[in-house]
């Protein structure tokens, strides 16, 4: 009976609610004698924008105990409690009705990625590529760099590549005979631009291998061209003399500042200049080639002071001068004449003899010399032969020993 009366009053009180979601309870004010003291009759239907609730309230007033279920329409996000109950006080519990907020599909779905700006229009999402990117399908691709404008004779590497992504580099090269002036590398930037302009290839000025005389060579042997200011070294083989400058510098215009030297055949060494009493071996030789040696010696009675050998150099000079031969200051005492020898000196008797002097022996009449009749004073201070002996001849022989005067 009460529910029927409430249903009757629901349509009557619809006009009394000026604001659906004011939160104020619905009350009766026209006939208190019939209905008794004023008290809430129910809850006003809540104001729920961009969504709906169930069950529906056709009378405009929600009876006590009514439980509403809220949901947002498509494209909106729910925020708040999903249920609300009309209490006897005429208020909804909980008092805060949920809200529906429009879903930012660009933010949550992010269909465009990080390379584009997302815009929603009439329920449709559109992607606007950022600067430096271009659309490809439903994505924004990085703007690539294409082959840059190249100056005359300038080339790039690798030649097979035609597109570069941001951050990638291109290398510029010049053909043989040209010198690169400018940046050798350029980096692709966002937006498809290069950070460096193409360099210039200027015709290279260099020197070629010069015309070399016979036997002349150069180093480094593998090199065929020299830039301005670089040097080339010339060499002659062993046994040859370098006549001229041993190096040259490359000048402006590709010319060398000097000609290569000539390599003259090795010079022989001639007979060395000898000091007195000095000789050399082999005596028949008059010329020596480089690296060959000569041996020096001193005459008898002289002592060699200096180098006994000398080597012929590639410049035609001896490595050492001839040594000095100094007379040996050695004497020999007079040869002994023992009583038993019965011999005598046929030369003038001296107490001392110089090196090279000789003494001669003889025997008195009727005796024969047994031994060497001549002896020589040696450089070691001794005589070359011992003193001879005078003996009687055998019966079958008769002879007289005698010394002949030398010189």
> What pLDDT is stored for residue 121 in this prediction?
73
- pLDDT at residue 39, rounded to an integer: 57
Residue 319: is its pLDDT beyond 80?
yes
pLDDT above 70: percentage of residues in the chain: 86
Candidates 3.40.50.620, 2.10.70.10, 2.60.40.420, 3.40.640.10; correct CATH number of 206-265?
A: 2.10.70.10
Give CA separation, 387 vs 346, 349, 367, 372, 376, in Å. 13, 14, 15, 7, 11
What confidence score (pLDDT) does residue 12 get?
A: 30
Q: Average pLDDT of 174-203?
A: 88
The better pLDDT of the pair 83, 37 is held by 83
Query: What is the rounded average pLDDT for all residues in the chain?
Result: 79
pLDDT higher than 80, residue 215: yes
According to the CATH classification, is domain 107-142 in 2.10.25?
yes
Matching residue, tokens 């009366």: 5
392 or 249, which is more confident: 249
**Is domain 2-102 classified as CATH 2.60.40.420?**
no
- Residue 38 scores a pLDDT above 90: no
pLDDT at 99 over 70: yes
User: At residue 50, what are phi and psi to the nearest 5 degrees?
Assistant: 65, 25
What average pLDDT score do residues 121-145 get? 78
Domain boundaries, the chain: 2-102, 107-142, 145-203, 206-265, 269-327, 331-391
Task: Assign 396 a pLDDT band (cuts: 50, 70, 90).
Answer: low
Class of CATH domain 269-327: mainly beta
Domain 107-142 shares a fold with domain 206-265: no
pLDDT score of 187 more than 70: yes
Q: What class does CATH assign to 331-391?
A: mainly beta
Which of residues 176 and 257 earns the better pLDDT score?
257
pLDDT exceeds cutoff 80 at 153? yes
- Domain spanning 145-203: CATH superfamily: Complement Module, domain 1 (2.10.70.10)
Residue 203: pLDDT band (50, 70, 90) is: confident
Residue 295 pLDDT > 90: yes
The pLDDT value given to residue 44? 83
For residues 324-353, give the mean pLDDT: 79
pTM for the full model? Answer: 0.30
Residue with tokens 């000097």: 258
19: pLDDT strictly greater than 90: no
Q: What pLDDT score does 204 carry?
A: 76
Which is higher by pLDDT, 307 or 346? 307
* pLDDT over 60 at 6, yes or no: no
Least confident of 164-168, 195-199, 394-398: 394-398
- Structure-model confidence comparison of residues 130 and 185, the more confident one: 185
């Amino acid at each position: 009976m009460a529910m029927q009366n409430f249903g009757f009053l629901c349509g009557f009180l619809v006009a009394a609610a000026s604001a659906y979601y004011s939160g104020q309870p619905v009350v009766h004010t026209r006939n208190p004698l019939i209905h008794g003291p004023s008290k809430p009759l129910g809850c006003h239907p809540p104001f729920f924008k961009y969504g709906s609730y169930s069950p529906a309230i056709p009378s405009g007033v929600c009876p006590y105990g009514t439980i509403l279920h809220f949901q947002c329409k498509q494209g909106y996000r729910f925020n708040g409690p999903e249920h609300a109950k009309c209490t006897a006080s005429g208020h909804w519990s909980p008092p805060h009705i949920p809200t529906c907020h429009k879903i930012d599909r660009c933010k949550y779905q992010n269909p465009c990625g990080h390379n584009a700006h997302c815009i929603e229009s009439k329920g449709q999402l559109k992607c606007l590529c950022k600067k430096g990117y271009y659309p490809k399908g439903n994505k924004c691709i990085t703007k690539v760099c294409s082959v840059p404008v190249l100056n005359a004779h300038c080339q790039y590497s690798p030649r097979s590549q035609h597109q570069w992504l941001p951050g990638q580099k291109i290398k510029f090269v010049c053909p043989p005979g040209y010198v690169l002036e400018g940046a050798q590398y350029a980096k692709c930037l966002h937006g498809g631009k290069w950070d460096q302009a193409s360099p210039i290839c200027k015709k290279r000025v260099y020197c070629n291998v010069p015309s070399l005389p016979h036997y002349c060579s150069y180093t480094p042997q593998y090199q065929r061209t020299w830039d301005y200011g670089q040097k080339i070294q010339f060499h002659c083989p062993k046994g040859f003399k370098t006549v001229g400058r041993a190096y040259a510098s490359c000048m402006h215009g590709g010319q060398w500042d000097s000609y290569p030297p000539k390599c003259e055949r090795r010079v022989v060494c001639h007979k060395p200049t000898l000091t007195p009493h000095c000789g050399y071996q082999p005596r028949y030789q008059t010329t020596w080639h480089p690296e060959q040696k000569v041996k020096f010696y001193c005459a008898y009675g002289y002592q060699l002071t200096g180098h006994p050998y000398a080597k012929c150099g590639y410049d035609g000079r001896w490595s050492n001068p001839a040594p000095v031969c100094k007379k040996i200051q050695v004497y020999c005492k007079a040869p002994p004449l023992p009583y038993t020898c019965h011999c005598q000196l046929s030369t003038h008797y001296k107490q001392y003899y110089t090196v090279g002097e000789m003494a001669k022996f003889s025997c008195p009449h009727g005796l024969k010399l047994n031994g060497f009749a001549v002896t020589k004073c040696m450089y070691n201070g001794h005589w070359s032969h011992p003193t001879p002996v005078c003996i009687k001849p055998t019966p079958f022989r008769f002879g007289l020993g005698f010394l002949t005067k030398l010189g």
